[in-house]
């Protein structure tokens, strides 16, 4: 099923933010696998270029927080990055390493029903990365079950112009907006942070024909609040409350 079809169906969708990161090293193949085993509908990942222009999956612009080392991702080669161990949620080194985009694609190819949220982090060569990403994904069937996300509006605008299903954020969170008057015209979906979420803002963006999602309600009460606001896709760090809430909907 295409992602847009799933969204139109109004089914409740649970997306694992950087995988099952509340229990396993974030953005690791292990965190993705554990999230899938528990039954999530979607995996969210973050992309950056290494020094030698390899696409790797890591959130921060440095490795300081998530590994046993220090340094800027853009200053480290793929070989450098692969020599590091990802930290677990407690901050202790694990046996997991930073995946490449190629490794991630090979991994998710085993799960044809899994949806993907692929975020391109703002970076010096972000637009270049977006163009390379499309070349990599176009020969696969992954684009039809993916949304591509960024806080960099230049990237969002480019992808939308190419007919790609895109997700952005509210204006105050975007970078590189330039002279664009209505940034929301270049988005298919928008993610509202939990702290800014209410029913009125959901209705506002639904009236602009956007799918409206939220990040990151990690308790049962916050998931229910998001649902009551009209949200049908939640991106979460702790997947269990959201999955339990989804099951309660199925039991009604």
Q: Helix, strand or coil for residue 53? A: coil
* Model pLDDT for residues 23-46, shown as the tens digit of each residue: 999 999 999 999 999 999 999 999
Query: How many CA atoms, within 13 angstroms, populate the side-chain half-sphere of residue 157?
Result: 13
pLDDT of residue 180: 86
pLDDT of residue 240: 99
CA distance 97 to 81: 8
pLDDT of residue 179: 87
Any catalytic annotation for residue 17?
A: yes
Cβ contacts of 140 within 8 Å, gap of 6 or more: 105, 109
What crossing angle do the helices spanning 101-108 and 126-137 adopt, rounded to 10°?
30
Q: Which letter does DSSP use for residue 38 in this model?
A: H
Q: Which domains does the chain have, with CATH numbers?
A: 3-250 (3.20.20.190)
**Catalytic, out of 38, 59, 157, 173:** 59
Work out the number of other CB atoms within 10 angstroms of the CB of residue 106.
12
CA distance 221 to 244: 11
Mean pLDDT of 106-135: 98
Work out the number of other CB atoms within 10 angstroms of the CB of residue 63.
22
* Model pLDDT for residues 43-94, shown as the tens digit of each residue: 999 999 999 999 999 999 999 999 999 999 999 999 999 999 999 999 999 9
- Of all residues in the chain, the percent with pLDDT exceeding 90 is 98
pLDDT of residue 1: 74
What is the reported pTM? 0.97
pLDDT band, very low/low/confident/very high, at 252 (cuts 50, 70, 90): confident
Cis-peptide, bond into residue 216, ω within 30° of zero: yes
Q: Are 108 and 142 in contact (CB under 8 A)?
A: yes
pLDDT band, very low/low/confident/very high, at 246 (cuts 50, 70, 90): very high
CA distance 165 to 207: 18
Residue whose structure tokens are 């998530």: 66
* Model pLDDT for residues 98-107, shown as the tens digit of each residue: 999 999 999 9
pLDDT band, very low/low/confident/very high, at 233 (cuts 50, 70, 90): very high
Query: How many CA atoms, within 13 angstroms, populate the side-chain half-sphere of residue 89?
Result: 11
pLDDT of residue 181: 83
**Catalytic, out of 17, 38, 157, 173:** 17
Across the chain, mean pLDDT equals 98
Q: Which of 250, 248, 242 is nearest to 14 (CA)?
A: 242
Mean pLDDT of 199-221: 98
Instruction: List residues bridging with 221 in a β-sheet.
Output: none
């Amino acid at each position: 099923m295409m992602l847009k079809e799933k969204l139109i169906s109004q089914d409740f969708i649970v997306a694992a933010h950087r995988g099952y990161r509340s229990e396993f090293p974030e953005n690791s193949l292990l965190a993705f696998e554990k999230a899938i085993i528990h039954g999530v509908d979607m995996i969210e990942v973050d992309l950056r270029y290494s020094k030698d222009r390899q696409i790797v999956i890591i959130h921060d612009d440095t490795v300081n927080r998530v590994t046993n080392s220090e340094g800027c991702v853009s200053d480290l080669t793929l070989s450098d990055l692969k020599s590091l161990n990802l930290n677990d949620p407690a901050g202790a080194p694990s046996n997991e390493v930073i995946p490449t985009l190629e490794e991630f694609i090979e991994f998710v190819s085993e799960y044809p029903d899994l949806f993907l949220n692929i975020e391109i982090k703002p970076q010096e060569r972000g637009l270049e990365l977006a163009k390379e990403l499309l070349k990599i994904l176009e020969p696969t069937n992954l684009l039809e079950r993916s949304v591509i996300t960024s806080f960099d509006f230049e990237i969002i605008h480019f992808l939308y112009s190419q007919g790609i299903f895109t997700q952005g954020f509210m204006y105050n969170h975007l970078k590189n907006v330039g002279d664009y008057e209505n940034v929301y015209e270049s988005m298919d979906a928008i993610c509202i942070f939990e702290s800014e979420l209410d029913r009125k803002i959901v209705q506002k963006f639904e009236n602009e024909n956007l799918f409206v999602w939220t990040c990151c309600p990690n308790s049962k009460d916050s998931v229910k609040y998001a649902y009551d606001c009209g949200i049908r896709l939640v991106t979460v760090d702790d997947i269990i409350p959201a999955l339990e809430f989804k099951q309660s909907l199925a039991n009604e």
